Amino acid sequence: MKHISFQGERGAYSEAAATIFFADKIETIPCSTFAEVLKNTEGGRSDYSILPIENSLEGSVGESNDLLLGMSLNAMGEIYYRIRHCLIGTGSIGEIDTVYSHPQALGQCRQFIQEHSLKTIPCYDTAGSVKIISDLNKKNIACIASKRAAKIYDIPIIQEGIENNQNNYTRFLVFSKIKNDEAENCKTSIVFSVKHESGALYHIINEFYQYKVNLTKIESRPNKDTPWEYNFYVDFEGHVDNSSIKEMLQKLRGNTSFLKILGSYPIAKLN
């Protein structure tokens, strides 16, 4: 049986994504933080970790991406999971004045929250917010989480589908100590920082053009160690063991001050 670490309480979207990604029987291990998720797998307590990386409405999950810099695991899979938020609570919509949830979920339901003039209280996890309102047991409070979380904690669903946009997907990456063998239809994720030289980033992007490699994502995030310096997170089509990709990455190292290969994995379909 495979053991998978995820952040949050039972019923979290990360746990739901893990059950879909791994078709066979698994055991999920809830963790309080993203860092603990990765440490579990690095230390052998779990076989895999799953982390939310970006959302189609709210963008990247900063904490997850920052942790990738120091981890010793390999990205070996991805999944796009459709997020359908529910308003959960024991009161009616007219009684509620306060809503709890993870900041990403609050942002994804911003229109609904504003329309109903609700006060927001950020929580560490969507499923955890269901546990909180269950313990508080007040009719004027509610939370935003999944239908599955509401069922686990036996709290009524007041309204389903309250997200700002129905095209609400979160992309999760799966990590392990194992590297995937080369295969077709793969994607590779890397992170790098550029030298303080004129045209450094241009030369890197030009290498992708010269090798006819399709970039699927490029994003900059602040370097936590040096003010006003940035790390670039890049996804591109191809496998790191491909001879052409290997040659391109070697040239990239010459134009970067830091480059880390996060891993290669099959390209997931958006269902």
170 in active site: yes
DSSP 224: S
Q: Would you give the distance in Å from CA 136 to the centre of its chain?
A: 29
Q: How far is it, in rounded angstroms, from Cα 18 to Cα 6?
A: 8
Q: How far is it, in rounded angstroms, from Cα 142 to Cα 246?
A: 51
3-state percent helix, strand, coil for the chain, nearest multiple of 5: 30, 35, 35
Residue type, 153: Y
Active-site hit among 170, 175, 232, 236: 170
DSSP 90: S
Q: Which helix (H) or strand (E) holds 11?
A: none
Q: Would you give the distance in Å from CA 163 to the centre of its chain?
A: 18
Q: How far is it, in rounded angstroms, from Cα 80 to Cα 56?
A: 10
Active-site hit among 172, 175, 192, 236: 172
Q: CB atoms < 10 A from the CB of 198, how many?
A: 8
Active site residues: 170, 172
